[in-house]
């Protein structure tokens, strides 16, 4: 597999475990951020001519053989019928909020085509399809799964760069901003680590000109963001020894569902219960790895970690099983 | 601007950061951090900057060696003992 680009790396995180057949709210947020990632990639690679803070780009760039299909798709949307586009970096980035559903679909198709070609992304049965309610209703859903090796390399290297002392590259600053804006930051860092991340953002905001430019930018579309417990979380996580402020706000976006997997029978033995759930998920094509056994096992399902909490649902009679709850990749 | 190094540049370097070591080996950051803190991975540290620099070839081969020993069923204390009997 050839080395993927900055925007493709972000896409591996943003699209992983997202439904492929429906335009959910969380996928809309991811797609807007993927479009923003193309602008940031172009900015990093000096694709804009810059006078002061104003960045300009001519339509001729689309004829450049080094431009990828996904970059072309996003830039075409930005150019619309114009020959030239110009604006400051914040102006470019906030434009993604206005993208229509049709445009977002174009962005998705272009990225997915490129990544599938590189064997970096595939479509599988959605984990939610294994939920009792969906199984009994006969609803089949599909989702994206990023190549496990590439996903680990991308997520772990960004974790290393942010959590480790030392200089932070421009790519890491911009990736951090994208993770924050897409809500994926909760998948990568634990609540405890987020306190360190918030301090890091505060420092980058003060010490790096790129950090100062991007961290105040928010591309939230309020309709697409779940704000439940937002203020509580904000207070808990964003207050650092150095202070608190707009740069520390991590928007909360509902990117995962709580999934109930029923077992074939009631298992008093926790090992049997876990094996039954494992078999069920593997039959549906998921990659399963048990990270920790015990009363509440921790399992890795297609790049993401879940705690499998024993649970019973009461209909006319009780149905036993486990509830899968997402766990951050911070082991 | 401080840019991320391409894989070609990393592969041509004598020393790499822990993030680059993650990219090279596909290992988890927390795993490498643990190996480092347990003295299983060689590194240099500039006191002022507090950034750990890893000798690329030695560190990669050491990580592969640890992976192999783990696959053979050895525990971390056993691996540490096995490694300490060797010189870097």
Which of B3, B19, B30 would best serve as a mutation to test chain A binding (most A beta carbons within 10 A)? Answer: B19
A1 domain-assigned: no
What are the pLDDT digits (tens) for A131-178?
A: 777 777 777 789 999 999 999 999 999 999 999 988 899 999 999 999
Q: pLDDT tens-digit profile of A61-83?
A: 999 999 999 999 999 999 999 99
Full residue range of the structural domain in which residue A310 is found: 259-326
* pLDDT higher than 80, residue A247: no
Using the predicted structure, report yes or no on whether residue A246 has a pLDDT greater than 50: no
Same domain, A208 and A62: yes
ipTM over 0.90: no
Residue A301 β-bridge partners: A288, A304
Q: Note whether A56 and A120 are same-domain residues.
A: yes
A291 near A232, Cβ under 8 Å? Answer: no
Average pLDDT, chain A: 86
Q: Count the domains in chain A.
A: 2
Q: Are residues A206 and A301 in the same domain?
A: no
Instruction: Report CB contact under 8 Å: B26, A149.
Output: yes
Architecture in CATH of B7-84: Orthogonal Bundle (1.10)
**B49: closest chain A residue by CA:** A166
Residues A32/A1, Cβ–Cβ less than 8 Å: no
A189-221 tens-digit pLDDT: 988 899 999 999 999 999 999 999 999 998 865
Q: Is residue A225 part of a domain?
A: no
B47 Cβ contact list (under 8 Å, min separation 6): none
Of A74-83, A301-310, B43-52, give the range with the top mean pLDDT: A74-83
- Domain map (residue ranges) of chain B: 7-84
**How far from A28 is each of A4, A89, A100, A171, CA to CA, in Å?**
22, 21, 10, 23
Q: How far is A61 from chain B (nearest CA, A)?
A: 23
Q: Is residue A29 part of a domain?
A: yes
Collapsing DSSP states into helix, strand and coil, what is residue B75?
coil
B contact set with A (CB within 8 A): 1-4, 6-7, 17-23, 26-30, 32-33, 49-52
Q: Is residue A154 part of a domain?
A: yes
Question: What pLDDT does A194 receive?
Answer: 92
Residue of A9, A157, A209, A214 to mutate, testing the B interface (most B Cβ within 10 Å of its Cβ): A157
Verify whether the Cβ–Cβ distance B23 to A153 is below 8 Å.
yes
- The token pair at A97 is 């909020």
Shared domain check, A281 and A174? no
Å between A229 CA and nearest CA of chain B: 29
Give CA–CA dist A325/A299, Å, rounded. Answer: 10
The reported pLDDT for the residue numbered A240 is 46
- A85 and A36 both lie in a single domain: yes
Q: Which residues contact A111 (CB under 8 A, 6 or more apart)?
A: A7, A8, A11, A15, A34, A70, A73
Q: Which of A154, A189, A220 is the last residue of a domain?
A: A220
State whether A104 and A55 are in the same domain. Answer: yes
Last residue within a domain, chosen from A220, A244, A267 = A220
Residue A211 in domain: yes
Work out the angle between the directed axes of helices A69-79 and A25-44 (0-180°, nearest 10). Answer: 100
- Candidates A202, A213, A200; CA nearest to A243 is A202
């Amino acid at each position: 597999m050839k080395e993927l680009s900055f925007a493709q790396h972000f896409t591996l995180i943003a699209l992983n475990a997202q439904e492929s057949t429906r335009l959910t709210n969380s996928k809309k947020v991811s797609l807007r951020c993927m479009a923003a990632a193309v602008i940031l990639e172009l900015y990093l690679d000096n694709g804009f001519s810059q006078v002061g803070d104003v960045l300009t780009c001519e339509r001729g760039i689309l004829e450049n053989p080094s431009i990828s299909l996904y970059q072309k798709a996003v830039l075409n949307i930005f150019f619309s019928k114009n020959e030239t586009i110009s604006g400051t970096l914040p102006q470019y980035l906030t434009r993604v909020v206005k993208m229509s559903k049709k445009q977002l679909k174009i962005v998705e198709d272009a990225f997915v085509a490129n990544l599938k070609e590189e064997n970096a992304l595939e479509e599988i049965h959605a984990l939610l399809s294994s939920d009792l309610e969906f199984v009994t209703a006969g609803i089949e859903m599909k989702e994206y799964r990023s190549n496990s090796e590439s996903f680990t390399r991308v997520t772990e290297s960004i974790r290393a760069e942010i959590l480790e002392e030392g200089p932070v590259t421009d790519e890491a600053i911009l990736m951090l901003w994208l993770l924050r804006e897409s809500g994926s930051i909760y998948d990568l860092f634990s609540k405890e680590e987020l306190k360190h991340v918030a301090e890091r953002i505060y420092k980058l905001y003060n010490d790096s000109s790129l950090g100062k430019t991007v961290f105040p930018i928010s591309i939230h579309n309020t309709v697409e963001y779940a704000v439940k417990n937002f203020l509580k979380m904000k207070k808990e996580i964003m207050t650092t020894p150095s202070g608190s402020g707009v740069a520390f706000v991590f928007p909360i976006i509902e990117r995962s569902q709580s999934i109930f997997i029923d077992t074939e029978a009631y298992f008093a033995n926790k090992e049997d219960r876990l094996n039954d759930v494992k078999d069920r998920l593997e039959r549906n094509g998921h990659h399963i790895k048990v990270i920790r056994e015990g009363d509440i096992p921790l399992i890795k399902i297609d790049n993401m970690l879940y705690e499998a909490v024993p649970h019973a649902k009461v209909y006319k009679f009780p149905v036993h099983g486990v509830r899968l709850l997402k766990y951050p990749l911070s082991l | 601007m401080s840019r991320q190094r391409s894989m070609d540049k990393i592969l041509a370097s004598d020393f790499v950061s822990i993030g680059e070591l993650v990219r090279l080996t596909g290992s988890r950051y927390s795993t490498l951090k643990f190996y480092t803190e347990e003295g299983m991975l060689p590194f240099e540290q500039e006191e002022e900057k507090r950034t750990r620099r890893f000798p690329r070839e030695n560190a990669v081969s050491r990580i592969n060696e640890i992976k192999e020993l783990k696959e053979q069923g050895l525990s971390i204390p056993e691996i540490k003992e096995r490694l300490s009997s060797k010189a870097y």
